[in-house]
Amino acid sequence: MRTVWCGLLSVLMTCHVWAGDSALELADLIGGKEQYQRQSHQVLLEMIRKQPAMARYQRVVQRWAQEYLTWERMRAELAMTYHAHFTHQEIEQMVQFFRTPVGQKYVRYTPLMREEMIRIGQRLAREQQPRLIMMLRAAGAKVEMRQPASSATSSQSNSQ
């Protein structure tokens, strides 16, 4: 009897996506379709670049992607992912936010903000590289500070 209840409980707890599911709307509101199409195109190009022999089969690969890697399938999977991490109420709140002009502005600027965050992180890492080298040396590592190519070239020419 306990096994039956455990099985029933697991079925009830499994996330299912239905036509009116707000998680599906959330996937649409965040620009998921456009992002998915752009990324899937890039993934296919990268796949062909890494396997040049497939270049002559590019149309087959594209047909495969159009048939099996569809936004509809991704959208349903994405909705289930939202359900796995957020309550129904939280999803509803996000839907309400992303329906607003500010929410849509956030969607438009997210890729730019992501790129800027990467550049900021790279700059901060470069600025703090001397401290890392000191810490590595203190830990016993044999490291040298790499200089930009232009300054290394100029110091070589000055010593000659």
9 is a domain residue: no
Residues 73 and 68: their CA atoms lie apart, in Å, by: 8
Does residue 31 share a domain with residue 95?
A: yes
For the chain, the C-alpha Rg in angstroms (whole number) is: 25
Of the residues 99, 128, 155, the one at which a domain ends? 99
Mean local confidence (pLDDT), 47-67: 86
Does residue 116 share a domain with residue 53?
A: no
CA 92 to chain CA mean position, Å:
23
Does residue 87 share a domain with residue 39?
A: yes
Domains in the chain: how many in total?
2
Does residue 116 share a domain with residue 69?
A: no
55 is a domain residue: yes
Which of 23-27, 48-52, 74-78 shows the lowest mean pLDDT across its residues?
48-52
Mean local confidence (pLDDT), 53-82: 88
Does residue 43 share a domain with residue 69?
A: yes
Burial of 28 (0-12, 13-18, 19+ CB in 10 A): middle
Does residue 36 share a domain with residue 72?
A: yes
Does residue 117 share a domain with residue 56?
A: no
8 is a domain residue: no
Q: What is the pLDDT of residues 19-44, one digit of tens each?
A: 678 999 999 998 888 888 878 878 88
**For 83, phi and psi rounded to 5 degrees?**
-65, -30
Does residue 74 share a domain with residue 105?
A: no
Q: Find which of 4-8, 72-76, 83-87, 151-155 is predicted with most confidence, using mean pLDDT.
A: 83-87
109 is a domain residue: yes
4 is a domain residue: no
Does residue 125 share a domain with residue 68?
A: no
Domain range for 65: 21-99
Burial of 69 (0-12, 13-18, 19+ CB in 10 A): middle
